Structure 1
């Protein structure tokens, strides 16, 4: 990766020589910051992506814009980077943005012994870990306007199920929240047993809010109960290039009507419920990262949780049994089969929304996802046919 540096006032300074880091995921910048400090003795705050040599958000050569508050004591290479303002740029992607948010978090925490360590930055969030006496005490998260409802969702969910979600210590515009530290590890690649436990933890929350959708909407949670028009808009540019997509969209009215007949209610949907968004310390599980939360069909979450599992049948059967008990007369098994291609279409819409709301330099994070999810929708419709 290469860092183009700007000074405290945002003045361009030049570029550092390229350096390799091991972690290939572009939003994860903790290793980037550590590498720059180790190699050149500079403390930097990564602001945003400037360019990359590939269309997928991992690996390759990446150029970031970063801020320093003391000029380097050596000559930087000339840098040709577009630093012009962009109307869709997140506040934390501008010079001074991260520093202002870290200062807010320190004040909200009420401690002057806190060290802030940057972890992630991209068009969907900026995340810093706040340490004191060598241990994490809180996390600063800042999100763009499309995720501004996250603190309200955490408050609602935490009010019903304390401990299932991170505690919000403070929240303020623009998109800032200070979250209590959650011990444990994110459980990426966890197996079916762990996913089944998460699904069991999560069900009472969804059942609770199935009767309180108005509370969610009043808190600003996006309403995705009816997406047929959005599906058509996102699919339209790809109808000639993705075989079977036209047939799927033509059949959507029938499929959605059949899904409605299955009788499962709209409720709070996490939106990205995979094991990596669950922190586990061996005793408790805490579901994090609620920015994608919506009001929609509960099947979206169980399908996301089942992704990548070689044999998710037990997970899905237990989910269906819980919903049959909660909603007598419903047909959860048929619902989840009908929903499989719809869930892929929903994912394509979400990625298209991201692309509509981010600046051009950040588009490589998501551009390949829209056609990939549309193709996956066609595959799911063929594999999981439901008359």
Structure 2
């Protein structure tokens, strides 16, 4: 997703009923002054702002349709399918018909008329609680794993989040965790939640002190919540992972023979690994699944863990691998010591340090299978977000297995 500054964007416009209107001329989206020279194709506001300034329209972005990488002096070009309520008064060009053809794995919010359905549900769900929406919804994000809107209401800011079917347990998980440091749930449907705003900032780039607080929040939830009281959700035991791990390895063409051999060796010993982990004394519990500082929000006094769509049931230290990937190397050892100490306190007599040694290659293998699962369940044009991840995590799995 990273490019140099300057993004050339075209929009394939459709009406809410799906009628195609044509393609806009390209326009440029420039980074905000002082921002990082990196584009995240999921983020909507900058694109909509440029469309308004250049084309005089404010559409709804439905989905990413195509990315043409930068070559030489030519900017990266991104094509979105976007919805407008009526035909705009501007030149539109023929072409790109293939980009609006229906796809069986397309998310509901990425289809014409889909966003309106979610917004109407949100308005009705809030009205049932005596809360009125007071302004135009602001579209914040759209991609294959979620769609996000910010709603101004007379009670304050409300967030509408839509999720794919394989994350549909998020609302029920949040409902179960309302006594803990999670967003306040206002309403939920099968594939959407309404959440109260969390004051403060997202904690990307968090330092060691905040990272320790984050670990304590997670361990506190995991050690207090009985998995039997959680809704149906994915289960990540080593033996249950084996079939998907075999598929992930089989489909990874860009993993070399030595790495394939190492990963296959790990898959073969998953039953023994499960038994060895059990001897470390930590029970399976709730796993966040996407535990990193960007999913922490708040201020110095109050922090909240966001984004529970990736959650499941498994070994409580499965969140360690992805979390430490985002931590400075100099802090990783001390944070790991803090994490294992927290679990020794929570479960006296357990051996979390030994569990982490056993989990290292398995945690990386699980990450590879998660990304493979995304690729299996999203349409082709959006696979660009995750395409390189299974092989990357398989290589890391192999290195850890050999180590």
TM-score scaled by structure 2? Answer: 0.87
Per-residue CA deviation, residues 140-173 of structure 1 (Å, 9 max, x unaligned), is 00011000000000011113x2xx1011111123
Structure-to-structure mapping, 1:253-264, within 5 angstroms:
253=269, 254-264=272-282
Structure-to-structure mapping, 1:300-339, within 5 angstroms:
300-309=318-327, 310=329, 311-339=331-359
Whole-angstrom CA distance in 2 between matches of 1:136 and 1:300: 36
Per-residue CA deviation, residues 233-252 of structure 1 (Å, 9 max, x unaligned), is 21134486252332233244
- Tell whether the 8 Å contact from 1:154 to 1:165 is kept in structure 2 after alignment: yes
Matched, 1:214 2:228: yes
- How many residues matched? 371
TM-score scaled by structure 1? Answer: 0.90
Whole-angstrom CA distance in 2 between matches of 1:74 and 1:247: 57
- What is the CA RMSD across the aligned residues, in angstroms? 2.0
Whole-angstrom CA distance in 2 between matches of 1:20 and 1:41: 14
Matched, 1:266 2:280: no
Whole-angstrom CA distance in 2 between matches of 1:46 and 1:320: 44
Find the counterpart in structure 1 of residue 60 from structure 2: 45
Superposition deviation, residue 54 in structure 1? 4.6
Per-residue CA deviation, residues 5-60 of structure 1 (Å, 9 max, x unaligned), is 112322111111222323611111121112111222212000111111259xxx93
Find the counterpart in structure 2 of residue 351 from structure 1: 371
Superposition deviation, residue 198 in structure 1? 0.6
| Residue aligned with 1:20, SS | strand
Structure-to-structure mapping, 1:1-387, within 5 angstroms:
1-21=9-29, 22=31, 24-54=39-69, 60-82=76-98, 83-110=100-127, 111-132=132-153, 137-159=157-179, 161=180, 164-173=181-190, 175-209=191-225, 212-216=226-230, 219-225=231-237, 226-238=240-252, 241-252=256-267, 253=269, 254-309=272-327, 310=329, 311-382=331-402, 385=403
Unaligned ranges ≥5, structure 1: none
Whole-angstrom CA distance in 1 between matches of 2:298 and 2:374: 29
Whole-angstrom CA distance in 2 between matches of 1:99 and 1:244: 47
